Amino acid sequence: VLGFWPHFLSVNPSRGLMDEQFVVLVQNAPPGSELTVHSFHQCDEGHSWNAFAHYISDAAGSVNVSGDCSLGGTYSGIEPMGLLWSLRPVPGSKPGLRIRKKNVQVPMLVTVSVYEGHRKDGFSDLVPLASVLVERWYMAPGVRRIPVTEGGLTATLFLPPGPGPFPAVLDLWGSGGQLMEYRAALLASHGLAALVVDYLTTKNIKETEKMTIFQYIETAYKYLEEHLQILGSRIAMLGLSFGTSVTLRMAAYSKIMKVTAEENICPSHDDPRVAEEGERPESSKPLEILPRDLSLPIDPLKKVDVGRLQCPLMLVVGEDDQNSAAQESASDMKEMMERAGNSHLLTILSYPDAGHLIEPPYTPHVRASNFKPAGLKQMFLWGGQTVAHSRAQEDSWKKILLFLRVNLFGGTRPGAAPLSRL
C-alpha cells in the first residue's frame, strides 16, 4: 500500500520568479506505481484553480515531471511546467475566470501534491501522499515598487536592484484600464526599469478630461526621462492589445517622445484617435463578442503611418487571435514599412494556434473570459489552443527580453542585462 511508504516530493526551486522553470520530483514510491501529481492555486480574487497529470513511477520508484511523460490529465506528454500553464478553475467555479496577479508584493502560492492512483477529481476530499508549497514571484529581491502620482499620473514604477541609472520600459495594457503591474515587475526583475500606467480609467482622463490619452502618455514619458535613476535616452514602449495602437501612434507622431525601441503584443495599427474621439462599437451578441470582426477590413484612412517609425519594432502575433486582427495588421504594417524603406526596423514573431492574451511564461491560458472594457462586463473570446499558446508565451518572452536588452543596453549579445534571481 502506497500510504505506508515514506514518500519524498521536492520542487526545486520552491521559490522562484514566475518565468523560471522548476523541477518536480517524486521519490521512494514502489516501482510501477500509478501516481497523480496535482497543483492547486487560490488566486488573489479568491477563486480556486488546479491542474493534474498521471504518471507511473520508474524502476527506482521515481517520477520526474520535467522528463517523464504524463499519460493524461490537464496535459499529456513531457511538459516540465504543465502544472502551471494548464491550471484551470476547479469544477463548479463560475464561468469566465482568468488569473491576473493583483498584488505583486506577495507571491503566487501553488501547492504541489502527489496522490495514489490516477485521479481526475475530488482532490479536496483526498489526503495526499506528500505536498510542497511553491512560491512564484513577479518581484525579485531588491526590486523597488514606487507608486507615481506626479503630473496627474496614476502609475507604478518598478526599479531593479542597484543604484542605476537604468534603461526603462513604458508599459501599456489594453482597453480594460486599471493598473496591471505584474509584467512591469517581472521586467524590473530582469534589469529593466518599468513604468506601468493606467491611461484609460484614471480620473484625469475618464472624469475630469484634463488630459487626452496622448498628453497623458507624454507626461508618463517625461516622468521617466527626467527621473534620476532612469537613462532618459533609452526608453522603450511595450503595448498589449489596444495599448499597441497607442504606442505606435506615440512613436510615429509625438514631437516629445523619442522612443528607443517598441514591443507590441497582439498588434493593431488602427489609429487610436478613432477610439478616443468616437463611440465604442456595441455588439448584439449576449455572450461572446468578437471585436476582431469589427476591425476588418482595415480602413486605410484610420491607420497609424508606421512608415514614419525610426526605432526598432517587434510584433508578437497569435495566429488564432480571436479578439483583434493581429495577423492582418502585422502583415499590413510590414507592407507599409517596406514601401517606406524602414522595414529593416521590423521583427515579427508569429505563433500558430496562439491567441490574443500572450502573457509572461506559464500564465494559465484562457480561451475566453469576462472582460470589462469601459466598465461593461462581457465575455470576450481571446482564442488560442492551450499547448501552442503556452509555447508561444515561453518563446516570445525570451525574445522580448533579448530585443529590449539589445536595443536598450546598446549591446548585441544575449544577456547584456544581468538577471535577478530569487
Average pLDDT over residues 243-261: 94
- Using CA atoms, how far apart are residues 38 and 52, in angstroms rounded to an integer? 4
Sheet containing 261-265: order of strands: 144-148, 155-159, 193-197, 166-172, 230-240, 261-265, 313-318, 346-351
Q: What is the pTM of this model?
A: 0.90
pLDDT band at 287 (very low <50, low <70, confident <90, very high): very low
Residue 181's contacts (CB-CB under 8 Å, 6 or more residues apart) are 101, 104, 138, 145, 156, 158, 196
In one letter, which amino acid is 218? Answer: E
pLDDT band at 278 (very low <50, low <70, confident <90, very high): very low
Can you tell me which residue has the cell 511595450?
Answer: 238
How is residue 347 written as a grid cell? 521583427
Name the phi and psi angles at 339, rounded to 5: -65, -35
Can you tell me which residue has the cell 508565451?
Answer: 393
Average pLDDT over residues 323-342: 95
Half-sphere exposure (CA, 13 Å, Cβ side) for 124? 9
Question: Long-range contacts: 90-95, Cβ < 8 Å, 24+?
Answer: 90/48, 90/49, 90/50, 90/124, 91/121, 93/47, 93/48, 94/47, 95/370, 95/379
**Active-site residue, from 33, 175, 241, 268:** 241
- Using CA atoms, how far apart are residues 122 and 111, in angstroms rounded to an integer? 16
Q: Does the pLDDT at position 415 exceed 90?
A: no
pLDDT band at 164 (very low <50, low <70, confident <90, very high): confident
Q: Does the pLDDT at position 417 exceed 60?
A: no
Q: Higher model confidence: residue 298 or residue 288? A: 298
pLDDT tens per residue, range 102-152: 999 999 999 999 999 999 999 999 999 999 999 999 999 999 999 999 999
For the chain, the domains span: 7-137, 144-409
Contact 75, 387 (CB under 8 A): yes
- Using CA atoms, how far apart are residues 136 and 231, in angstroms rounded to an integer? 30
Count of residues making up the chain: 422
One-character DSSP codes across 203-262: HHHHTS--S-HHHHHHHHHHHHHH-TTEEEEEEEEEEETHHHHHHHHHHHH-SS---SEE
Contact 409, 167 (CB under 8 A): yes
CATH 2.60.40.2240 matches 7-137 = yes
Average pLDDT over residues 333-349: 97
Can you tell me which residue has the cell 484617435?
Answer: 273
Is 365 in the active site? no
Q: Higher model confidence: residue 78 or residue 411? A: 78
Is 321 in the active site? yes
Can you tell me which residue has the cell 510615429?
Answer: 252
**Active-site residue, from 38, 321, 365, 396:** 321
Is 241 in the active site? yes
Task: Give the pLDDT score at 364.
Answer: 97
pLDDT band at 413 (very low <50, low <70, confident <90, very high): very low
pLDDT band at 416 (very low <50, low <70, confident <90, very high): very low
Q: Which CATH superfamily is domain 144-409 in?
A: Alpha/Beta hydrolase fold, catalytic domain (3.40.50.1820)
**Active-site residue, from 41, 190, 227, 356:** 356
